[in-house]
Structures are given as structure tokens and as C-alpha cells.
Amino acid sequence: MPGPHFVVIGNGPAGNEAALTLREKAPDARVTIITRNLGGSYRPHLIPEFIAGNIPEKGLFAVTPDTYTEKNIKFRHGQRVVDLDPEKKTLTLDHKEVIPFDGVIIAVGGMPRIPEYLKVFEHSMLTLKTMEDARRWISTLAETDSVLLIGGDLTSLAVTKALLSLGKKIYFMLTEHAFWPLRPDEALFAEVSDRLACKGVDVISGKTLEGLASTSENSFIVRFDDRRELEVGMIGAFFGLAPDIGFLRRSGIRMDRGLLVDEYLCTGFEGVYATGDCAQIYHPELRDYWVSIGYANAEVLGRTAANNLLGGKDQTAVAAESIFEAEGINVNTSWWMEF
Amino acid sequence: MPHVDLTIEICGMSGDGTIAAGALLNGALSRAGFSLMAFDSYPAEIRGFGRCVTRTRVGVEEMVALTSETHVLISLDDEQSLSRIPFLARSATVFFDNRPPSYVPEGQSIAAHVEPHITLLGIPFGNLAAEATGTTRGRNLTALGAFAGAFDLPSEPFHEVIRKKFDPKGEKVAQANIKSFDAGVQYAREKLDPSIRGILSLPQKTMEKDDRELLSGNMAIARGALDAGLKLYFGYPITPATPIMEYLAKVLPERGGRLLQMEDEISSIGAVLGSFYAGSRAMTATSGPGLSLMTELITHGVMAEIPAVIIDAQRGGPATGLPTKSEQSDLHAAVFGGPGDSARIVIAPTNVSECYEYTVKSFQLAEKYQTPVIVLTDFFLDNRVENVSMPHAAPEEISDGNVYPDPALKGHYRRFERTESGISPRSIPGMEGFIFTTTGLEHTEKGIPDYAPQNHMQMSEKRHRKITGALAELPVPKEFSQKESLDVGVIAWGSTFGSALEAVRKAEKKGIRAGALKITSIFPYHADSIRGFMERCGEILIPELNYEGQLANLIGHLFGKEVTRLNRVTGEPFPASIILKKIESLVT
């Protein structure tokens, strides 16, 4: 009798770890990873270093497609899940293939988020999430000397360091959305501004972007609400990631901004788990949901989801106040209650 | 200029337009300046259910064989294409229709089976074609467009070949097909990751017109026959020879000739012998089952010394065998088939250019040596397409090959005179003063039946002397090697020679002292040349697409020891990789 079929959707840090755990702990099971991205599982936090040329592309990958083959994990990349029926236990791919499963772990992560008021300028801004994004950054940077960074999430600070090492002139527009979904206080805001300025970054704060005009392929005129204008070669947008869960709207799985799961990462449907950046996790003490960000946390969550899918009862280990370090700045995470 | 050597496959079900898409791809790539070799495989049934696959090897250098690996697979039917997955190269790209008409269970999409290192590109072929033209009929063109768009190939050559194919059906049809193609191009350029582009870089002479033509072996044979002055064609349809007849049915009458479909192969060869007897160049084309029916009359041509040109397009056998598969198993039948000692000339081209060249040559040989000449081809050679610099026969190559009698002998003519060469001056019926009788019975120099022991001895010797003498005009074996002394010599014939040459070149790159010998004169054969090559080789390898090793049976005795036979009857062209592997095993 064939073993159960476990499917992991997404191969970011959480999904990759979940699949490897399932493989290790359920050797008779059929394990499948389905991801819309191409290639193996990469370490997103190293992408800025890749852009700076400090590590080669292959150094980004935690797991290559061949590793999945060696571990007897079916790896379907470049394939998108468009529907999931948690009761019938089937999921449907973009190319109309219907796949039955005994258990599924949803670890789709997030997509770069652009605030609504900036959507009109979206086509002129580069985001940075995928390998394809990274390659676009590298090719664009080769043609320009100045960069405007808007927003200010954790990735943007690492990108700033990379761009400085490349000798680029950086303008950093810190907005009220900086560190979203975290909530920086004024002290942190000031500390970030000072540190950036010390490194030669031209910090723009307290201003609103009003207009954007492209004068050529690698030249933009940016206009602020104080009528000041700035000419730059490219613009990067860093407003954090929003869970990429639109395809589950008809599934019946409860969702807010992320997928709502209990402390065991279960969606409430037997055998259907969510983990990583796309999950909002219930905290029994707080009686509310929280979200985790960061590479290391994602791996822990992936492992936890896999253990629980296999019958475990692991609660997600989280300290009340986790701390991330980014470019020498300690950033406090906060409960993600405003979602 | 970047090195380009890719194999592109299109796979679908009968009715998907697979073969048509492959032909358009070949035409466009040829116009774009690439060298190519292409081969289609399709079911034996005329229409119905079955897998169709077109394979195109494209590059900038001359292609001598197909490869076993596929670098780009365009799937028009996933269920059929699953069988092609084992042949995908590690870095392959697969195009498939990601909007099939209905939902499919797990495993029925090709997406479920490709290995992770393969680039999978889902394109809604049917939907795009429907949006562009109102019907999904053009989805094969959309798939082709997606391929062109993904690899940044210019659309112009594709537009040209689409127009050439569909203009005769009207502007509306041509436009619809161009729209379907363009929809694929646009989708690929807008939606696909640009990083996959650039695999197919164009040669520098892109779009420059050269004298190369896209031609199959069958078409080259038909063109060769026409250029040689073919006047009459008689035949009975049979795969894989039928395209010769189809082409000639259209073109031969335009050139003042006539084509007649006969009731069977026996009457076909009878009519060919009759035509030549009367002085008109004639030809028939058949395959193994037809050749066996012709056998008795071929020997009649040998005995009565009447020319004939017979194309034997070999397919899988025996009997009805494998009509749409490749095999080289008629050699014994072509050389030895028939009662009595009935030596005849048998030649075997190895590529499309030689199909033309040797067909032209066969008419002169048949006339001069007054004997049936069999041109042995095979399914792969007949149907594969190459873009070749088309040879044009020189006047001396197509001139009358007959050796006519000395006018001084008028009234004293001996039709079957035993000359030193064995060639008896030939009279055409109606030549005043050169009347003769002819018969399938053994006969005297004057053609009178005579069973006397001495006469039969002398006439048999004369007929064989004539055939042996023809060797001087038959193409000599051609050697391809870099070294004087070789560890392994590979001797091959027909379509297998290209694979042998490719294997030898790869072996040389690996430091193995290997060489290839191409044999096109099957009978009589150049024993001295072959022996000379063999003496310089440590081992002789003879790969053939037959089970019995028929060429090895014929020439193997020339080697001082046993030759190594490598025989396959899979129905597929001989893979160079298998020959290479055998070469390597012989030197270790």
C-alpha cells in the first residue's frame, strides 16, 4: 500500500524545511513541493550580498533541485497552485492538473508589498524578492550611479550596505510605512536616519512622493510635496512582504491578511497546515494572532508544521519579544495585531 | 559566433498538426541561416490515433546525424509527449499547453514528469490561438510562435514559410495562421523569463540567401530522376517510397513524361523493363515487400540484359513488417535476391545529396551495363530533411549511357556478343539492321535459346565480367580519419553512416584513434579499398540497422579476423552514442 502523499506549497525557508522534515520523518510518504518560482530554495536574506557581488549565485541556494531528486522529493517548480479544496483534499494547478493529497503545508511566503498610494508608480519601481528580481537589480545597477530607496524594511538596510559597497549614491526616503509590519518608535526612526546619514546616505524624511517622470530608461525625475525634485537612475521599493494567499480565497480556510492557524499551525481542516510568512499564528496567552518574519524563524516554523502534520503536537516556539539584528540596529518585533 | 547544436522536438497526437509545425520550423530555421537535419516519425495508420514526433537538429555546422538527446520539446499532447521525457537533455526546455480543454488527474500533464533541472514553460497554446483567430485550430502555430519568441528568433522567416504554405489556400487562411503564430511570439516575449532567451543565437549569415534547399531523401531522388531525363515512372504505392511517386505524379507530366500507377509491383518492374527495352529511361520505387515481388523480373533484366532503375526504400521487415520504421535489412535481397546467378548493381546513398547524385548515376549505369540498378535507401534517409547545396547534374552525367553497335556490323549484329568488358553493344528495337531476339532463357550471343553447358558457362561469365567491370564507375569508399594507424575502424552504409561518422569524431576528441569508412557501392564493392582500410585498423566495427549484419556478411571476410558487428532493429535511426560506446569498449 503506497504511503501518504504530502504536498508542500512553496519552497522558501519554511517550505523547504517542512519538506525536508517530512522526508526525513516519513520515509514511506510521497513528498511533493510545488512552487511558482524557478530553481532551488534560496536564502532571501543573502540576495543583497549577491547584488553586491560578494557571493556567487550558487552561494544563494540552500538546496538545489538535484538535492530534492536525491532525497526523493518531487519538485515541481514554475508551477502555480490556483485552488485548494481542504475537504476533498485536492489542489489544482494553473495548468488544470488536479492533485490529491493526504496532507498539505502552505508555505507560500509573501509578495513585495507596495502601499496603495504608490501603486500608480509601481511600474517604475523595482522590488527585491526573487532571483529574477535580483538579476534585474544587477543589470539596472550596471547602468546607473544613483538609487532612490523608498520605504525602509529590513531588506532595504542590507541593500543600502550593498549599494554603498558598489559606490552608488543613495537617497533613502523613510516613510511612515518603514519597517512594516513592525512599528518603529520615534527613537528607532531617528537612530536609523542617523546611521544612514553617517554612512553617506542622503536621508529624505517627512516628505511625500507626489510625482515621478521617466526621462529615459535609466533616469527618473522624482518630485516631492515640497516641490523639490530629484534625479536618480533607479528606484527601489521596500515595504515588506504581503502574504501571497489570494489563490485560497475560495478554499474556506480562514484568513485575515494571512492564513489563520492555531498554535499548532493547523488551519482547522484536518491535514491542512500553514507556516512561515503567510501564516497568522494564534497565541493562546495573548488570545490573538501573531506573525513571524525572518529566515531563521521561518525554518523553525516549517519544521514545526511538518512535525504536526505527522501527528506531533509542537507549539510554535516564540519568545515574547524576539529580536532581529539588521546592520547593527536591534529591531524589536511586535505582535501583529493590527492585521 | 556561438556554438549552436540543438535538437528540437514537437510531439503530438495525429491531427494536432505536429508534422506541419515541424515542417514550418525546419523551413524557418533554414531561412534563418541554420544548418539542420530533421526527421519525423508518425503512426503507420493513414490517420487516427497515434504519436507524431518531429525532430530537428539545428546548428551552424553541417549535420551528419541526429542526436539522442532533445534540448527543446514542444508538447502538443502531453499524454503522447511523456514518452519523450527520457530523451530530454539535462538543460532542456519544455513548452506545453497550460490551459488544456479540461481538468486532468495528477500525472497526466507533462508538468508532473519533467525533472527539476528542466525548464518548464506553460503557454496557453489553444487559448491564445482562439483569441487571435476565433478557433484553436492554429494552436500548433502558436506553439511555434512561443518557441520563436522565447528564444528571440526573428519572426520574418516563420512568416515567409507560413505564407508559402498557406497562401495557396487564400489570404484569410494565411493571415489566421500568421496571427496564431504571432500570438505565441507576443506571449513569450511578454510573459516568459528573459533569462531563458539566447540559447539559439543566429549565425552571422542570418537571413542571407544561400543556395541551400530544404530537401528530403525522397525528394532528392525524384529530382535526380527528373534531371537524369526520366521519361516514364511506373509504381505501386508503398511506405516509405510513396512520396517519390506523389511528387513525380505532379512534376513528371510537366516535363513531358508520364506516370502510371500499376496494379502491383510485378507489373511496375515489368513496365520499367519494357520502357528501357524500348529506349526510354524509366524508374520504379518500392520497399521490401514490393522488392520481393519484383525479384523474378529483376533477374529477367539480368538475364536479358535490360536496364532498369529500382529504388528500394527499406523499412522494417520481414513481410509487411514495420511500415513506418527504419531498417537496413534488404541488403541480402537487393544483392542476392532471386533465382540463379543474377548479379546486378546495388548502390546506397548515405545522405540527401547522395540520394540525388546516385539516382542520376543509376540511369547511366543501368544503360551502359544493361542491367537493373537498385538504389537502396531507408525510411530515415527517405524522410529526413536536410538543407543542402543542391547538386545539379552536369550534361555528361545525364547523357545517354548506351553503348551502341558499330554501324559497320549492320546485318551481322550479335546482341549478346561476348566482349572483353562483357558489355555487348546495345540496339534499341527499331534500329534498322540491328534486329535481335531477347528472352529470359539462357541464350547465345544472338539471343537464341541455348542450354548447352559451354554456352551457359560462357554467358554467365560474360554477365558477371560486365558487373565486375562496372566497379570502375562506382563511387569508391571514402575514409574519414586523422591517423594512419587506427585502433578502431567503423564501416557503415546508408543512413547509419552519419551516426558512425559522428561517433568517430567524438571518439577522436576523446583521444581514440578511430576512423570511418563510407561504403556506397554495395555490389559490386571495392574489395581492395576496403581491405586496405581494414589492414590499418586493430578492430573493425560494422554498425547496421538489421539483425543479421548483412553488410558484415558481405564484406567481413576481407578482414583477417572476425569483424565486430553492432546490430539494432528498433526501427529508429542508429544513435551515434551507441556506436561511440562500442568504439570505447573496443579500445579498453
The domain tally of chain B equals 3
The answer to whether residues B197 and B231 belong to one domain is: no
Q: Report ipTM for this prediction.
A: 0.80
- Chain A residue numbers with beta carbons less than 8 Å from the beta carbon of B111 are 76, 79, 93, 95, 97
Interface of A with B (CB under 8 A): 38, 40, 65-66, 68-69, 75-79, 92-100, 132, 135
Q: How much of chain B is in helix, strand and coil states, percent to nearest 5?
A: 40, 20, 40
The answer to whether residues B337 and B248 belong to one domain is: yes
Compute the nearest-CA separation of B137 from chain A (Å). 20
The answer to whether residues B185 and B138 belong to one domain is: yes
Residue B198 maps to a domain:
yes
Report which of B571, B66, B542 is spatially closest to residue B315, judged by C-alpha positions: B571
Could you say which of B185, B210, B235 is where a domain stops? B210
Tell me if A76 and B193 make a contact (CB, 8 A cut-off). Answer: no
The answer to whether residues B30 and B123 belong to one domain is: yes
The answer to whether residues B178 and B255 belong to one domain is: no
Torsion angle of the four alpha carbons B76, B82, B84, B87, in this order, in degrees rounded to the nearest 10: 140
- Chain A residue numbers with beta carbons less than 8 Å from the beta carbon of B121 are 78
- Chain B residue numbers with beta carbons less than 8 Å from the beta carbon of A95 are 96-100, 109, 111, 122
CATH, residue B519: 3.40.50.920
Contact B466, B365 (CB under 8 A): no
B533 phi and psi angles, rounded to 5 deg: -65, -45
The answer to whether residues B112 and B180 belong to one domain is: yes
Tell me if B96 and A76 make a contact (CB, 8 A cut-off). Answer: no
Residue B182 maps to a domain:
yes
The answer to whether residues B206 and B298 belong to one domain is: no
Q: How far apart are CA B92 and CA B114, in angstroms?
A: 10
Give me the domain span that covers residue B569: 478-587
Q: Where are the domains of chain A?
A: 5-109+244-319, 112-239
The answer to whether residues B231 and B196 belong to one domain is: no
CATH, residue B20: 3.40.920.10
Q: Least CB-CB distance to B108: which of A77, A97, A132?
A: A97
Q: Which contiguous run of DSSP H or E holds residue B507? A: helix B496-509
Tell me if B106 and A97 make a contact (CB, 8 A cut-off). Answer: yes
Tell me if A97 and B104 make a contact (CB, 8 A cut-off). Answer: yes
The answer to whether residues B165 and B278 belong to one domain is: no
Chain B's closest residue to A100, CA to CA, is B106
Tell me if B109 and A93 make a contact (CB, 8 A cut-off). Answer: yes
Q: How far apart are CA B562 and CA B557, in angstroms?
A: 8
Could you say which of B359, B377, B398 is where a domain stops? B398
Its CATH architecture, for the domain A112-239, is: 3-Layer(bba) Sandwich (3.50)
- Chain A residue numbers with beta carbons less than 8 Å from the beta carbon of B193 are 38, 132
Interface of B with A (CB under 8 A): 96-100, 102-106, 108-109, 111-112, 115-117, 119-122, 193, 195
Q: In a structure prediction context, what are the per-residue pLDDT tens digits for chain B, which is 588 residues long?
A: 456 899 999 999 988 999 999 999 999 999 988 899 999 877 665 555 688 999 999 998 889 999 989 999 999 999 999 999 999 999 899 999 999 999 999 999 999 999 888 888 999 999 999 999 999 999 999 999 999 999 889 999 999 999 999 999 999 999 999 999 999 999 999 988 776 665 666 665 554 556 788 999 999 999 999 999 999 999 999 999 999 999 999 999 999 999 999 999 999 999 999 999 999 999 999 999 999 999 999 999 999 999 999 999 999 999 999 998 999 999 999 999 999 999 999 999 999 999 999 999 999 999 999 999 999 999 999 999 999 987 789 999 999 999 999 999 999 999 999 999 999 999 999 999 999 999 999 999 999 999 999 999 999 999 999 999 999 999 999 999 988 999 999 999 999 999 999 999 999 999 999 999 999 999 999 999 999 999 999 999 999 999 999 999 999 999 989 999 999 999 999 999 999 999 999 998
The answer to whether residues B136 and B267 belong to one domain is: no
Q: What angle do the packed helices B125-133 and B139-150 form, to 10 degrees?
A: 110
- Chain A residue numbers with beta carbons less than 8 Å from the beta carbon of B122 are 78-79, 94-95
Tell me if A65 and B109 make a contact (CB, 8 A cut-off). Answer: no
Residue B156 maps to a domain:
yes
Compute the nearest-CA separation of B539 from chain A (Å). 40
- Interchain CB contacts (distance < 8 Å): A and B: 60
Chain B's closest residue to A92, CA to CA, is B103
Per-residue cell: B174: 494565411
- Chain A residue numbers with beta carbons less than 8 Å from the beta carbon of B115 are 65, 69
Does the N-terminal peptide bond of residue B573 adopt cis geometry, omega within 30 degrees of 0?
no
Tell me if B103 and A94 make a contact (CB, 8 A cut-off). Answer: no
- Chain A residue numbers with beta carbons less than 8 Å from the beta carbon of B96 are 95
The answer to whether residues B189 and B254 belong to one domain is: no
Q: How far apart are CA B146 and CA B197, in angstroms?
A: 12
Write out the CATH class of domain A5-109+244-319.
alpha beta
The answer to whether residues B206 and B220 belong to one domain is: no
